Amino acid sequence: MDRRAARRPTAPVGNLLREWRAARRLSQLDLAISAGISARHLSCVETGRAQPGRDTLARIADALEMPLRERNALLLAAGYAPGYPESPLGAPELAGMQRAIEFILAQQEPYPAFVINRHWGVLSANGGAERVNRFVLGGRSSAHRNIVRQFFDPADLRPALANWEEVAREIIHHLHDHVASTPTDRAARALLEEALGYPGVPAHWRVRDLSTAPSPLLTTVLRRDDIELRFFSTITTFAVPRDVTLAELHVECCFPVDDATATHCRRLASAVDGETAGVGETAGA
């Protein structure tokens, strides 16, 4: 196979640049000045009359604040090889980061913690997260490995969310913002449409709300019978990642808002430890 044919762009680079420039609400002149190139050259790139070099594309991507995955797509569209690797989380080159993530999850016990990708998919979770989910779901596991689906599906965690409308509105707000800021992420757009399609979702949520910013601190209230578990979350990301996988990961740690929540989480952990010890004693008898 001809290597040049194998590297043929999947989408014209000019189309991608126009799409991103529109999403950032920049004129050609604005983008050209930010990228340190002439407006005429940028115009020729967008119309296909000029072939941009890798350095030019890097400067344009910086000016547009493009994520690493989209920078790779831009390079491919121009006929170049991707500039950033995308390694599986279990790859040897990410072993150090994997250990750091496992340490964060373990340190968060007995409270929930999750590793989440850019589309809210849960890649891993600690025991605290699994125990809390099973408790509020009456002993069963969640049907989804995606936070959006868990919180919007009436057959999953949604009935256990005492403040569902508040939490769901924030999730929709974040999804709208992500879709608007990353115009080429079709999967995020599809996830937004899926969330909006669940029963009971207000119709006006289809329109992006630009009048309010996301809440700086959101409390998630989970309820089973007369027991409420209240958490707020912190997000850990990786500084200056050079790998697509790391750039798209974040670790969400849930902290108890009150003593009652903290006490119940410890009780859930103790109950599991007691069951494990009982199994071990029986097996050794």
| Per-residue confidence (pLDDT) for residue 239, from 0 to 100 | 80
> Average pLDDT per run of 10 along the chain, which is 285 residues long?
42 89 95 97 93 96 96 95 93 92 97 96 97 96 96 97 96 95 95 98 94 81 97 90 93 97 97 59 40
Neighbours of 204 (CB within 10 A): 7
The SS3 assignment for 124 reads: strand
C-alpha 235/C-alpha 282 separation (Å) is 41
What DSSP character marks residue 199?
Answer: T
Here the contacts of 86-90 (C-beta below 8 Å, separation 24 or greater) are 86/243, 86/244, 86/245, 87/243, 87/245, 88/245, 89/123, 89/245, 89/249
Q: Which residues contact 126 (CB under 8 A, 6 or more apart)?
A: 105, 106, 108, 109, 112, 113, 114
Class of the CATH-defined domain 3-77:
mainly alpha
Evaluated on CA atoms 126, 172, 241, 232, the torsion sign reads negative
Q: What is the pTM of this model?
A: 0.86
| Per-residue confidence (pLDDT) for residue 275, from 0 to 100 | 62
Domain boundaries, the chain: 3-77, 92-164+211-281
Identify the CATH assignment for 92-164+211-281 out of 1.20.120, 3.40.50, 2.60.40, 3.30.450.
Answer: 3.30.450
| Per-residue confidence (pLDDT) for residue 1, from 0 to 100 | 37
| Per-residue confidence (pLDDT) for residue 274, from 0 to 100 | 62
| Per-residue confidence (pLDDT) for residue 209, from 0 to 100 | 87
3-state SS of the chain? CCHHHHCCCCCCHHHHHHHHHHHCCCCHHHHHHHHCCCHHHHHHHHHCCCCCCHHHHHHHHHHHCCCHHHHHHHHHHCCCCCCCCCCCCCCHHHHHHHHHHHHHHHHCCCCCEEEECCCCEEEEECHHHHHHHHHHCCCCCCCCCEHHHHHHCCCCCHHHECCHHHHHHHHHHHHHHHHHHCCCCHHHHHHHHHHHCCCCCCHHHHCCCCCCCCCCCCEEEEEECCEEEEEEEEEECCCCCCCHHHHCCEEEEEEECCHHHHHHHHHHHHHHHHHHHHHHHHHHC
Contact 246, 238 (CB under 8 A): yes
